[in-house]
Amino acid sequence: MGNRSLLLVGITGFIIGLVFTLQSRPTLQEFGAVSWMPSMVGISIIREIGPIITALICAGRIGSGIGAELGSMRVTEQIDAMDVSGTNPFKYLVVTRILATTLMIPILVVLGDGIALYGSFLVENIKGQVSFQLYFNEVFGSLEFGDIIPSTVKSFFFGFAIGLVGCFKGYTCGKGTEGVGRAANSAVVYTSMLLFILDFLAVLISDIFYEL
């Protein structure tokens, strides 16, 4: 599920990096603060934009996929068939998927962050003749462990939430094709809401650590 989402995460990250830099540049230029661009983009993408955007894309792609797949397995009695054959479908279908999303989303976040930063660098390179080395030196120079660790930890929770909600909605799917559609749809809606709540909690908790 991770490798199939990579292209989508990559393209989205790249465009966000480009757009974010293009939009911010004139304002920073006005205040003579263009040199802050790599630090600002780096911190914004690593701490917030990268994890949440990647998670939202994966909620749409992976969460709905899991909801629809398990939902159709439920309505076509494949889950019952597994039960009857003595296999615990919860362990076989649910635990494996939640584990996969929990481990894959942080990897996708890291790749998405990297591609978004590269997109941002391209704009800076074209508009401000900033070299690759200088740009990324500025980015990493401004980052601290306090930026990287909370975003990595919350990515694991995002992955867990995507797998959990997708599996729950699919596993408890209503009858018929309508039920499958509803399972896929509500998997995305509820996961997206849960992601924002988790993100808010993550910001609150990391703020407490900052103050300490």
Residue ranges that bind another protein, judged by CB under 8 A: 73, 76-78, 80-88
**Burial of residue 27, with CB atoms counted within 10 A of its CB: 0-12 exposed, 13-18 middle, 19 or more buried:** exposed
**What are the tokens at 96?**
């494996």
**Nearest approach, Cβ of residue 72 and another protein (Å):** 8
**Nearest approach, Cβ of residue 96 and another protein (Å):** 13
> With left for phi above 0 and alpha for psi between -120 and 50, is residue 143 left, alpha or beta?
beta
Q: DSSP character for 85? A: T
Q: Which is nearer to another protein, 55 or 73 (CB)?
A: 73
Q: Output the DSSP codes for 112-171.
A: HHHHHHHHHHHHHHHHH---HHHHHHHHHHH--HHHHHHHHHHHHHHHHHHHHHHHHHHH
**Nearest approach, Cβ of residue 54 and another protein (Å):** 26
Centre a 10 Å sphere on the Cβ of residue 115 and count the other Cβ atoms it contains: 22
Q: Which is nearer to another protein, 83 or 178 (CB)?
A: 83
Q: Which is nearer to another protein, 81 or 205 (CB)?
A: 81
Q: Which is nearer to another protein, 81 or 201 (CB)?
A: 81
**Nearest approach, Cβ of residue 94 and another protein (Å):** 15
**Nearest approach, Cβ of residue 70 and another protein (Å):** 12
CA distance 40 to 4: 30
Q: DSSP character for 36? A: G
Q: Which is nearer to another protein, 83 or 207 (CB)?
A: 83
